[in-house]
Amino acid sequence: MHNISAAAGTGRENPRKRILFLSAVQLHPALKNDTIKRLHKRSAFTGRAGYIFKERSENAMPNEYDNDVFFSQYARMNRSKGGLAAAGEWHQLKPLFPPLEGTAVLDLGCGYGWHCKYAADHGAARVLGIDLSEKMLAQARLKNQDEIIQYRLCALEDYEYPENTWDIAVSNLALHYIEDLAQVFQNVWRTLKPGGTFLFNIEHPVFTSGVHQDWIYDEDKTPKYWPVDDYFRPGRRVTRFLGCEVVKQHHTLTQILMGLLGCGFVLEVVEEVQPSGEMLQLPGMQDELRRPMMLLVRAGKHV
């Protein structure tokens, strides 16, 4: 989830990143009112006043979450209103958390900050949640603030991943937006302390390789089957979600699991998410037993 925001420069440009300048004349009015902030001082990067996009890597994940239409729909979802208890994966993800007392926790793609607050409430000493959506972080600061939690506007690809810093790295439903997943795995390995844990939930490869990520329906709009195509061709997938076009990245199961092993991680848990017994009573949930939607992985840095 990326962000477009005003940013002042430091005078030194990182060659891995780009800065895009748009004058007030060039800027579309909708963007001006939505996600761009006016710079009232001269930019160290451009040497003149104006609007600039927040610096980000060329391959940084896309950000539909700062789109007003998309975010308004996302805010109506049960998981947005009800938090962890309303998330379909939580009954399986929660038991996978290691003991949190006294730990330093990094949340990659923290969204509303639900997992950050969970860590804080269970004794973590320090929590950093990063996300590339201003709208998500605004909700995190509103709903899930704590004195030990810091929220930071940053792409997963652009975070510095300081060496041997975190006990736990968690990521929930963000990694399927990342093109270079192997690089993120390497970064997480570096930033975890020895004995650290990497716990994440990613959309399942069977789901991301689904044609338009939707069922094939019969005449009565009843789901007939889930079509899978181009499974062994990883990369960009365009789908419709919450009424908007959304770009995701498909990764095969081999890429995900062998990518972790290649970095040195030890696989501790691999689970496919199924609805809980309670959720199976909800309309349409029985169909979620016909194909996996999410993949949970816990990997350890056993050195």
Cα 17–chain centre separation: 20
Which residue type does 91 have?
H
Query: Can you tell me the mean pLDDT for 56-66?
Result: 60
Residue 163 to residue 220: CA distance in whole angstroms: 55
Q: Which residue reads 């990094």 in tokens?
A: 106
Hey, what are 239's tokens?
């789908």
Hey, what are 9's tokens?
């420069």
Q: Report, in angstroms and rounded to the nearest whole number, the Rg of the chain calculated over CA atoms.
A: 20
Domains of the chain (ranges; CATH) run 1-58 (no CATH), 71-300 (3.40.50.150)
Query: Is residue 213 over pLDDT 70?
Result: yes
pTM higher than the cut 0.85: no
Q: How far, CA to CA in Å, does 70 sit from each of 76, 135, 230?
A: 10, 11, 27
pLDDT at 15: 36
Q: How far, CA to CA in Å, does 268 sit from each of 37, 193, 250, 297?
A: 44, 17, 23, 8
The number of residues making up the chain comes to: 303
**Alpha helices for 125-220 (secondary structure H):** 134-143, 181-191, 205-208
Query: Can you tell me the mean pLDDT for 205-218?
Result: 95
3-class secondary structure, 133? coil
Residue by residue, DSSP assigns 17-55 as EE--EE-TTTS-HHHHHHT-----S--TTTSS-SEEPPP
In tens, the pLDDT along 218-257 reads 999 999 999 999 999 999 999 887 777 889 999 999 999 9
104 vs 23, more confident: 104
